[in-house]
Amino acid sequence: MQAYELTGVGFDTLIRTQRPRRSPAAHEVEIRVAASSINYRDYALVHGLYQRDLPKPFIPLSDGAGTVVSVGENVRRFKPGERVLGHYTTGWLDGPFSSDNHASKLGGPLDGWLADSIILPEQALLKVPKHLSLVEASTLPVSGLTAWAALGDIERLSGRRVLIEGTGSVSLMALQLAAAAGAETFVLSGKAQYHDRLRELGATRVFDYRQLDDVPATLLAATQGKGIDLAVEVVGGNHLLSTLSLMADGGTVAVVGFLEGFEVNGDLIGPLLRRLLTLRGVSVGSRAQFEDFLDFLTRHRIHPLVGTHYDFDSAPLAIEEAEGRAGLGKPVIVHDELTP
Ligand SMILES: NC(=O)c1ccc[n+]([C@@H]2O[C@H](COP(=O)([O-])OP(=O)(O)OC[C@H]3O[C@@H](n4cnc5c(N)ncnc54)[C@H](OP(=O)(O)O)[C@@H]3O)[C@@H](O)[C@H]2O)c1
């Protein structure tokens, strides 16, 4: 089968290769990959910015969708011809997270979707909702489910003030979900050309953080001094301190990303104690959460935003361009243009 392997650290170590085909074992499903999508994680893994020591080689990309080609003799949930998408943390099916689950992630350490076919245990697959194309579905497993998990109990979001940072794929889905749940959404985006589109997607207020001298003061003024109830923190680093300073009493910061790094230098504890804030780490989600997320998308007819399309030959370029890309929506690699 055709695949790319990450064989080391650096863009040059992403190599196209031919792997021998095998048949699915008793509980496995063979999938013809229709589309895969790029997360910041993929870029960071290639460049050694994140989990530099993961054993190599592995096939990159955590997100993908396709059509079942064949199934092992004990597979009960799927049959050939069905449209499926992958569950990223394959071993986390339900209940609380265990740090052992990190070992079961697709696209490092386990082989991911950057291939023409993939064989996965049936427990690591879900059916694609009918209203979504396979290309749309391929964008959901990491950033979509992360947005869902970051928002927490969606039924309690109505009327709450939610902060969304930027227009990355986690943030766009968080915006769509929070708006559908009836939240008041405050979006910070440095891409002024997309502000109207963000309002169409449900943003209550949009601010260009590059034009603001004091982001927390602006957000506090916009919320009549009350502050934000739930922030989806994708930027990380010292930006977290700025976020803490604009939170409402009892608010929660869902800590998702590390675009500005992992280290925080400053007063972290003071704001937590003064306003009884909660810092909650997010590591994507379980399969049960994924099922609830897909159900919500179906009920609200939500379509994820898809960005630039690349073909399989251009996959390395797709990963390289993921950092600092210009467009709105998640970049996808369309493996097979003929699959609907
Ligand atoms: N913990 C988890 O489970 C999990 C899962 C998925 C992703 N992540 C992490 O979450 C982060 C975001 O992922 P992603 O895939 O959504 O990234 P992405 O698609 O690359 O999005 C990056 C966006 O962040 C925005 N941004 C950067 N600096 C900002 C700032 N100072 N204020 C506000 N917005 C800012 C920019 O939006 P504008 O251009 O609009 O300004 C930029 O487009 C990454 O660190 C990723 O690794 C974590």
Q: What CATH number should be reported for the domain holding residue 63?
A: 3.90.180.10
Q: Are residues 206 and 167 in the same domain?
A: yes
Q: Are residues 160 and 132 in the same domain?
A: no
Give me the percent of the chain exceeding a pLDDT of 70: 99
- Residue 141 CB less than 6 A away from ligand 1: no
- Please give the residue range of the domain that contains residue 243: 146-281
Q: Are residues 122 and 184 in the same domain?
A: no
Question: Is the Cβ–Cβ distance between 18 and 1 less than 8 Å?
Answer: yes
- Residue 261 CB less than 6 A away from ligand 1: no
Q: Report pLDDT for 323.
A: 78
Q: Are residues 122 and 150 in the same domain?
A: no
For a mutational test of ligand 1's pocket, the pick from 47, 234, 282, 283, i.e. the residue with the most ligand atoms closer than 8 A to its C-beta, is 234
Identify the residue whose C-alpha is closest to ligand 1 atom 24: 166
| Mean pLDDT computed over 329-337 | 89
Q: Report pLDDT for 324.
A: 72
Q: Report pLDDT for 227.
A: 98
Residue 178's pLDDT band (cuts 50, 70, 90): very high
Q: Are residues 238 and 327 in the same domain?
A: no
- Residue 127 CB less than 6 A away from ligand 1: no
Q: Are residues 21 and 76 in the same domain?
A: yes
| Mean pLDDT computed over 72-96 | 97
- Residue 294 within any structural domain of the chain: no
- Residue 53 within any structural domain of the chain: yes
Q: Are residues 167 and 130 in the same domain?
A: no
For a mutational test of ligand 1's pocket, the pick from 38, 40, 215, i.e. the residue with the most ligand atoms closer than 8 A to its C-beta, is 40
- Residue 234 CB less than 6 A away from ligand 1: yes
Tokens of 195: 């502000």
Q: Report pLDDT for 157.
A: 98
In CATH, what number is assigned to the domain containing residue 224? 3.40.50.720
Residue 337's pLDDT band (cuts 50, 70, 90): low
Distance 257 CA to ligand 1 centre (A): 6
Distance 198 CA to ligand 1 centre (A): 16
**What is the residue-wise DSSP string for 225-275?**
T--EEEEEE-S-TTHHHHHHTTEEEEEEEEE---TT-S---S-SHHHHHHH
Q: Are residues 16 and 57 in the same domain?
A: yes
- Residue 147 CB less than 6 A away from ligand 1: no
| Closest-lying ligand 1 atom to the alpha carbon of residue 256 | 1
Give me the percent of the chain exceeding a pLDDT of 90: 95
Q: Are residues 223 and 327 in the same domain?
A: no
Q: Are residues 186 and 88 in the same domain?
A: no
pLDDT in tens, 287-306: 999 999 999 999 999 999 99
Tell me: pLDDT of 176 over 50.
yes
Tell me: pLDDT of 340 over 60.
no
DSSP three-state, residue 296:
helix
Distance 118 CA to ligand 1 centre (A): 28
- When divided into structural domains, the chain yields a total of 2
| Mean pLDDT computed over 147-170 | 97
| Mean pLDDT computed over 224-230 | 98
Q: Are residues 77 and 185 in the same domain?
A: no
Question: Is the Cβ–Cβ distance between 147 and 174 less than 8 Å?
Answer: yes
- Residue 239 CB less than 6 A away from ligand 1: yes
Tell me: pLDDT of 209 over 70.
yes
Residue 30: strand pairing partners: 70, 119
pLDDT in tens, 229-258: 999 999 999 999 999 999 999 999 999 999
Q: Are residues 119 and 214 in the same domain?
A: no
Residue 336's pLDDT band (cuts 50, 70, 90): confident
The Cα 45–Cα 42 span in angstroms is: 5
